[in-house]
Amino acid sequence: MPTYTLNVNGQNRTVTVSDGGMPLLWVLRDLLNLTGTKYGCGIEVCGACTVLVDGQREHSCVFDVSSAVGKNVVTIEGLSANRSHPAQKAWIDNQVPQCGYCQPGMIMTVAGAMKAGHRGSEIQSEVKNLCVCGTYQRIKQAISSL
């Protein structure tokens, strides 16, 4: 079985998987116990599985673990040590989550847009994540506050 060393949230982590095509999502959740990244649809539609790979937003449900080797992967757990990232603060200040399931992916999408230098309505147009609870108005308010 192949073994891979990944840099996840600033730490090198070695994993052994049955297949190099295994989605990064399952490596993060099942092998590294980083359960903040969620499974939603498995087809890159909902955004619940969004992580940053070398600063770029990626859907970990379709991103192979072998493709993550040599790259920096950041999950919601590694975005900030104390919820101090501006996107996390905006989510808290605007009381965005209801059930909260989709929120880590949304926050990572916003964080990736911010990292790319995008602001306000530009970020708003990039957030295509789905929220079953329908907190879109609060999501817009949070993004507007950035």
pLDDT in tens, 81-105: 899 999 999 999 999 999 999 999 9
User: Do 56 and 90 belong together in one domain?
Assistant: no
- Single out the residue in 37, 64, 79 at which a domain terminates: 79
At 35, which CATH number? 3.10.20.30
How far, rounded to the nearest angstrom, does the alpha carbon of residue 142 sit from its chain's CA centroid?
Answer: 17
| pTM tops 0.85, yes or no | yes
In 3D, which of 26, 72, 8 has the Cα closest to residue 17?
Answer: 26
Give the residue from 43, 64, 79 where a domain finishes: 79
Same domain, 98 and 75: no
Shared domain for 72 and 90, answered yes or no, is: no
pLDDT in tens, 99-131: 999 999 999 999 999 999 999 899 999 999 999
Regarding whether 105 and 51 lie in a shared domain, the answer is no
Residues whose CB falls within 8 Å of the CB of residue 68, separated by 6 or more in sequence, listed in order: 4, 6, 24, 27, 53
Domain range for 45 is 3-79
The model's pLDDT over 35-93, given as tens digits with 9 standing for 90+, comes to 999 999 999 999 999 999 999 999 999 999 999 999 999 999 999 989 999 999 999 99
Cα 117 to Cα 14: distance, rounded to the nearest angstrom: 32
Give the per-residue pLDDT at 19. Answer: 85
Query: Mean of the pLDDT values across residues 16-33?
Result: 95
Domain count, the chain: 2
Provide the mean pLDDT of the chain. 96
Q: 113 in helix, strand or coil?
A: helix
Q: CA–CA separation, 107 vs 120, rounded Å?
A: 14
Q: Say if residue 59 is in the same domain as residue 101.
A: no
**HSE value, Cβ hemisphere, 13 Å, CA-based, for 92:** 8
Q: Is residue 74 a contact partner of residue 9, using CB atoms and an 8 Å limit?
A: yes
CATH of the domain at 90: 1.10.150.120
Q: Is the pLDDT of residue 20 over 90?
A: no
Residue 113 and residue 69 in one domain: no
Regarding whether 104 and 137 lie in a shared domain, the answer is: yes
Phi-psi region of 10 (alpha: psi -120 to 50; beta: other; left: phi over 0): left
Pick the last residue of a domain from 51, 79, 107.
79
